[in-house]
Amino acid sequence: MSLEHKISKEDFYQKPRRTRVVEENDNTKASFTHFLYQEHSDRYKKGAVDYVQELLARKFPQENVSLEVAESALQYYLPQLQKDVPFPEPQPAKFTFIDLFAGIGGFRIAMQNLGGACVFSSEWDKYSQKTYEANFGEIPFGDITQEETKQYIPKQFDILCAGFPCQAFSIAGKRGGFEDTRGTLFFDVAEIIKRHQPKAFFLENVKGLTNHDKGRTLATILHTLREDLGYDVPEPQVFNAKDFGVPQNRERIFIVGFRKDLNVQGFEYPRGCEPQRCIADIIEEQEVSVKYYLSNQYLDTLIKHKARHESKGNGFGYEIVPHESVANAVVCGGMGRERNLIYDHRLTNFSPVTHIKGEVNRQGIRKMTPREWARLQGFPDKFQIVVADAQAYRQFGNSVAVPAIQAMAEQVLRGIWYA
């Protein structure tokens, strides 16, 4: 039996025992999955073959595995390797986009809903990559600041999407142009726009960007996009997720831009939709696990914590949000999970509750579940949550409100198509 027939399709997805090669360059596995899910695009073929070669070399250390053998194995297994995923690429696609700082793919769901095909994704967090793979099939490429990663971006695509983390950058004493953002993730975004000249870009960030460094940070970003890169950039606007059909008070700034030659005139921002939704619309239908209910002991700690912070004038605290209202923005880190507590009157017959520290509070006060956070962000229920709760809360807290992104993206597409 030839070498390529001695492996199984499971081998392709197994965690390597010795991950040295993959750790040094895990872009090969990203290439492999991009190759599988993007109609076997030539762009990713070399990386995919390299990945299979590494895999074979690991499995058969005595053999000299040539690239030809690796390619033959890839071709042989190709038809069996592509799995059904909850969010496959739309067929036929109407436009292409790249998903930078992809997280768990909030942008991707919105863009795919509008008919877009994702031709490149990048996200360096391993847990987010795991969630992304479970939902879209692809593992995103890693660190986007690395030139090697940037080399995988296809030359042409229509829209660049990026919910980039905003690092503080100070432009004191500088001109406030492209070069002055060097060392920040915005610089990398700008550089990719400069090199690839997409028709449009769609950037998302926290509302705080508007007044960061007395407004100078945003001014520098806009100056770079307009003057240095030459894009038409309407004045950015802040949107609240609750105006787009999710019960969450989450304000984010959207910055979009169009390549000048498209001559996009009279761009219109989306309008919110009616009616607004409330917590009652998104809470889980079934009784949830006892682990989401707070023990009396923990509740006491929270109450004390809140009192201590409030007496110091700090805003931190949890709130028990009524079913007919909207939630505070879901955020990652710290005590984010406890910000929005809800009453759940279905708390009836928990027995035994031995794994809960302290007695479960009988009022039925509980945290929202990861699925409820997913719904607060507008993720459909078919979205797979494949990581532990702590990671899931972090991922949804970091993500975007999908319906708000989609409404905005629709306007961007109108701009491009009707220009």
Ligand X SMILES: C[S@@+](CC[C@H](N)C(=O)[O-])C[C@H]1O[C@@H](n2cnc3c(N)ncnc32)[C@H](O)[C@@H]1O
Would you please indicate which residues are annotated as catalytic (active-site) residues?
A: 166
Residue 145 interacting with ligand X (CB under 6 A): yes
Q: Which of 47, 116, 137, 163 binds ligand X (CB under 6 A)?
A: 163
Q: How many residues belong to the site for ligand X (CB under 6 A)?
A: 21
**Residue 112 is a binding residue for ligand X (CB under 6 A):** no
For residue 26, state whether it binds ligand X (rule: CB under 6 A): no
HSE-up of residue 16 (Cα within 13 Å, Cβ side) = 20
Q: Which of the residues 176 through 195 are near ligand X (CB under 6 A)? A: 185
Segment interacting with ligand X, rule: CB under 6 A, options 8-16, 112-120, 140-148, 227-235: 140-148
Residue 143 lies near ligand X (rule: CB under 6 A): yes
Single residue of 28, 220, 240, 399 touching ligand X by CB under 6 A:
399
**Interaction of residue 110 with ligand X, rule CB under 6 A:** no
Beta bridge partners, 116, equal 95
Instruction: Name the one range near ligand X by CB under 6 A: 1-9, 47-55, 118-126, 305-313.
Output: 118-126
Q: Which residue, 35 or 120, has its beta carbon nearer to ligand X? A: 120
Q: Of 80, 94, 165, 308, which one interacts with ligand X (CB under 6 A)? A: 165
* Per CB under 6 A, 106 contacts ligand X: yes
Among 96, 391, 398, 406, binds ligand X (CB under 6 A): 398
**Based on CB atoms, which residue is closest to ligand X, 106 or 270?**
106
- 197 phi-psi bin (left φ>0, alpha ψ -120 to 50, beta other): left
- Nearest distance in Å: CB 83, ligand X: 21
Q: Is 129 in the site for ligand X (CB under 6 A)?
A: no
Site for ligand X in 320-379 (CB under 6 A): none
The answer to whether residue 53 forms part of the interface with ligand X (CB under 6 A) is no
| Residue number with CB closer to ligand X (150 or 367) | 150
Query: Which residue's CB is nearer to ligand X, number 99 or number 243?
Result: 99
* CA separation for the pair 108, 120 (Å, rounded): 11
Select 203 or 321, whichever has its Cβ closest to ligand X: 203
104 binds ligand X per the rule CB under 6 A? yes
Per-residue b/e over 1-40, b at no fewer than 16 CB within 10 Å? eebbeebeeebbeeeeeeeebbeebbbbbbbbbbbbbbee
Q: How far is the CB of 181 from ligand X (least distance, A)?
A: 14
123 binds ligand X (CB under 6 A): yes
For residue 133, state whether it binds ligand X (rule: CB under 6 A).
no
Q: Which is nearer to ligand X, 222 or 332 (CB)?
A: 332
**Smallest gap from residue 89 Cβ to ligand X (A):** 17
Among 47, 103, 270, 397, binds ligand X (CB under 6 A): 103
* Interface positions with ligand X (CB under 6 A): 101-107, 122-125, 128, 143-145, 163, 165, 185, 398-400
